[in-house]
Each structure stands twice: as C-alpha cells, then as structure tokens.
Amino acid sequence: ELPPSEFMQVADSTWLVLSVVSNGREPPGCQATGVTKIARSVIAPLAEHHVSVLMLSTYQTDFILVRERDLPVVIHTLAGEFDIYKEEGGECVPVTNDDVSNGFLKPKPSASPMLHPVQSPQTRFCVLTVAPDTLPAIATMLIDVLFYSHSPPWDAATGSQDLDSITFFSFSLIEGYISIVMDAETQKRFPSDLLLTSSTGELWRMVRIGGQPLGFDECGIVAQIAEPLAAADISAYYISTFNFDHALVPEEGIAEVIQLLQQRQESGR
C-alpha cells in the first residue's frame, strides 16, 4: 500500500518466513540460544546449498527469511533433519519433497563464500520486550528515537561512520509480540517498569558484518558468524538489515567472539 517513492528501495525478491521450532534433538546441556542454536542444523546446510538468507532474532524466537524461488532447495535441504509444515487456512499442513519436486534443480558447487570484515563498536545494547497494552505509554519516545535521533558523525575522509559508537535501534512487532534492541543510554529515556528483559538483565555487544552494503545474492554471511559461535556455544541475537548484518553477543563474551572471528578470517585467506 506504500506509494512509489524515489526515497524507498525495495529488494526485487519476495521472501518467505521459516519459523524454527526445536525438535528435541539438541544434545543435553546445550545452552546456546539465538542464531547459534540453529546454526548447524539450518543455517550451515542452507549456506552449503547456496541459499541466501536473512536472519531476524526476536525476544521470543528466531526467524529465517528465504527467497520464494529458493523454497524447493530449502525443503530438499532441510527435510532430512526437520518435519516441515506450511500454513493453509490457519492450519499447519505437512510438506514433503514431493510437493516441491517440480522444477527442482540441484545447486551447482561454487567458490567458497567471501569472508566479510567484522567491526565491533563500543556501544552496549539491551534486548527488551514490552507488553502490547503498555505500548501507547512509550509511543512518543519510540517515535522520537526512530525518526529524530541522530546517527554518529560521518567521516568524509574515510567515507564511513565512527564505529567507536554506533546508533542502532530495532523494533519488531510479529504476531502481537514486540521486540526492541536499543543502546543502554537510550534505554534510560524509557520508563524502566515498562521495558522487560531477562532476569539477569545482561548487556550485549555488537559485531557488524560487512564493510559495504551486502546485497541479497550472496550466501553464507550468517553462517560466517553463526558457525564459529555455535562451535564455542556462545549465544547470539542476529538481525539482518537491508545493508548490513548485526550479531549481538553477551558483553562478557565479546573478546572471545572477536578472537574467534579473527581466526576464521585468517584461516579463510
């Protein structure tokens, strides 16, 4: 319903949402959450089959977006590990390989995916939720943060932002559930009794993937981050955006995460 505008870019693909529900096959004692929880069983196999994905973590669960044209490859790849369902008329209906076999082409092997640079600003972030019925109480502040807050100064000499500090605010409303990511300083502007977080109230640090806008045709970007973190059993909250990918990890683990990703960069050269 949005009118065409020279100020709005739209990706040329239609995307479908995969909601991944645990099937109980995780080994006992596995504590990883977020993107790392599904790295080995979903993200890595899709990357190996050259499927580009967008990842969206929320306070409640995680979603993977795949291009509609890639759905046959996705189902063929994941059917051995998962029971797959589709929604029809509000009901969940089982999907089999036979349902998508027409036109399925086995992807051809390609070169190893490019390893993108990873940057880690000093900003500390909070992952929060808010009850929908209390949303009007913070609506004015949300609008101010979303539309009127200023980004870090742009460095004309380097053509980039100062990444010692980064402005990042994410708001998602999915099936009535609200998830918010904001920096710790911005959180102070909101009533503390309305924003809910985990009982430990941990703070998160960010790694941003990509030295320039990533586009949507490349695959393996999420896997670049998810696989080494999964191997180290480190939780991560992951948000793909139009231009860059962002992974949030617990603050106390940021040094280990940076070391792991640097080692992967070195081994990939």
Give the CATH number for residue 262: 3.30.2130
- Phi and psi (nearest 5°) for 218? -85, 145
103 occurs within a structural domain? no
197 occurs within a structural domain? yes
100 occurs within a structural domain? no
Total domains present in the chain:
1
DSSP category for residue 18:
E
Strand bridging mode 177-183 / 170-174: antiparallel
Closest to 20 (Cα-Cα) out of 49, 73, 57, 51: 57
Q: Over the stretch 55-71, which tens digit does the pLDDT of each residue have? A: 999 988 889 999 999 99
Q: Over the stretch 224-247, which tens digit does the pLDDT of each residue have? A: 888 888 888 888 899 998 888 899
Whether residue 156 is predicted with pLDDT greater than 60 in this model: the reply is no
Helix (H, G, I), strand (E, B) or coil at 160: strand
**CA–CA distance, 245 with 225 (Å, rounded to integer):** 10
- Phi and psi (nearest 5°) for 36? -70, -25
Specify the pLDDT at position 163: 56
Residue 157 vs residue 208, higher pLDDT: 208
126 occurs within a structural domain? yes
DSSP category for residue 39:
I
Residue 68 forms beta bridges with which residues?
Answer: none
Q: Over the stretch 3-41, which tens digit does the pLDDT of each residue have? A: 888 888 887 789 999 888 765 444 444 455 678 888 888
84 occurs within a structural domain? no
**CA–CA distance, 43 with 57 (Å, rounded to integer):** 13
CA distances, 57 to each of 9, 168, 233, 234, 241 (Å): 23, 15, 17, 15, 12
Q: Over the stretch 134-153, which tens digit does the pLDDT of each residue have? A: 999 999 999 999 887 765 54
Helix spans in 17-134 (H): 44-48, 71-78
Question: Residue 162: which H helix or E strand, with range?
Answer: none
Domain membership of residue 181 as a residue range? 118-150+159-215+241-268
